[in-house]
Amino acid sequence: MRQVFRGTLFHLLDDPDAGADAAVIHEDGALLVEDGHIIEAGTWIDIQPLVKGAPIARFPDGLIVPGFIDCHVHFPQIDMMASPGDNLLHWLSAYAFPTESRFHHEDVAAETARFFLDQLFAHGTTTALVFATAHKVAAEALFAEAFRRNMRLITGKVLMDVNAPAGISDTAETGYMETRHLIRDWHGKGRLGYAVTPRFALTSSERQLELAGRLLAEHPGVKLHTHLSENTSEIEAVRRLFPDCPDYFGVYEKFGLATPHSVFAHCLHLSASEWVRMARSGSNIAFCPTSNLFLGSGLFNLSAAETAGVKVGFGTDVGAGTSLSLLATMNEGYKVCQLQKRHLSPFKLFYLATLGAARTLRLDDKIGNFASGKEADFVVLDAHALPLAKRRWEHATTWAEKLFALAMLGDDRAVARTYVAGQCVHERDKKAAPSEP
Ligand code: GUN
Ligand code: ZN
């Protein structure tokens, strides 16, 4: 079915730091969608002849942007976000691990998966790379719910067989077998993808990391998702546990886990050598500013990643992250870079949450902008429900100013509607059905 969405269009054709033409804004623009894919994006004048009677959804005050992509988030941790921790390792044992231990229960996992995906849509996020827990049922629940919603989502059962409570641990062998079964059942089904997910080097034995490498080798196209170099005590502990490895990244290299399909969250304290080897391996990074500030972990060096040639996309890292909103993440990411004398334009901020994130997940042939043929995942933003942003918009003279104000002041209130494959999955202003007398 053909559909037309009319409003101001904004998307990125490339990294805006690479050239001035990367950012495209059509003030009176339109998106022509058919069977869940983008046929054409352009000005209304260009699109009008192609409409041929298709229904037109009009958003006169709306800004239509590609759906946000979250490169790193933990779905079970939605139940304990905003829990204080002295640092990463304390926070994990005090809050994250106890919360995750409830996810052996199918009903808990299913109800949380529904709530989590409702919230992603309410925040304008249409694709995410997600940590589940070590329980097979938790990954299954999230896959099933994302499949039902026709959402592009990647997740995996967490692998953790040492240094963790029994209730959230597996063994090297059960982790391997359960992952194989999950890949067989879910990878490539609908819009779903699988990520082999060792939590981090501290919670996997050498045998488990070896089997994770085997899983990747046996299943081309499957992702690797883990944490790297977030906290200095964590790095010290990795050094003690893996004395034969040159550094933290070297642990993942040793087991064949550093690949173009690998996404490493954080990467805050990498050495010059680690940056060079990361780039050479084609590995990718999720930059999680709200989490890094919340746990006091450190400042991500975006310029170092770019100089090395490593792809970067934003991650919220909820529950250590303090918001599911990629707009709120832009706000904090901007400040993290300011502290390092790196000034990010509003175009760059949106790039890191859309096309840049799609490149980080190697999904840029499918999502990330409005190029013809891509999947029609998009968000209608406006400032109506944000009095401060609305007022700022009224005083703005350029779209750069408006976009920057949305990034600094926006959150889920700025998301008027969210569409997945051309279907509306969230409507902010929908009136609640009248209750029965
Ligand atoms: N490192 C290992 N596990 C976690 C986690 O759950 N959250 C964060 N932020 N870092 C981790
Ligand atoms: Zn994380």
Sign of CA pseudo-dihedral 403, 119, 291, 280: negative
SS3 37: strand
Q: What is the mean pLDDT of residues 43-51?
A: 96
Distance 169 CA to ligand 2 centre (A): 17
Query: Mean pLDDT over residues 96-108, rounded?
Result: 97
Mean pLDDT of 49-56: 94
Label residue 225 exposed, middle or buried (CB < 10 Å: 0-12, 13-18, 19+). Answer: buried
Shortest-distance ligand to the CA of residue 234: 1
Q: Which domains, and CATH codes, for the chain?
A: 2-67+368-427 (2.30.40.10), 68-360 (3.20.20.140)
Q: Is the CB of 172 under 6 A from ligand 1?
A: no
Mean pLDDT of all residues in 217-226: 98
Ligand 1 mutation pick, 77, 91, 92, 235, max ligand atoms within 8 A of CB: 92
pLDDT for 434 beyond 80: no
Q: Is the CB of 92 under 6 A from ligand 1?
A: yes
Q: Which of 78, 79, 86, 88 to mutate to test the pocket of ligand 1 (most atoms within 8 A of CB)?
A: 88
88 lines ligand 1 (CB under 6 A): yes
Distance CA 170, CA 101 (A): 12
With a threshold of 0.90, tell me whether the complex ipTM lies above it. Answer: yes
> Does residue 298 have a cis bond before it (omega within 30 degrees)?
no
**What's the 264 CA to ligand 2 centre distance in angstroms?**
9
One-letter amino acid identity for 252?
A: Y
73 lines ligand 1 (CB under 6 A): no
Cα of 1 to ligand 1 centre, how many Å?
Answer: 43
Tell me: the pLDDT tens digits for 270-308? Answer: 999 999 999 999 999 999 999 999 999 999 999 999 999
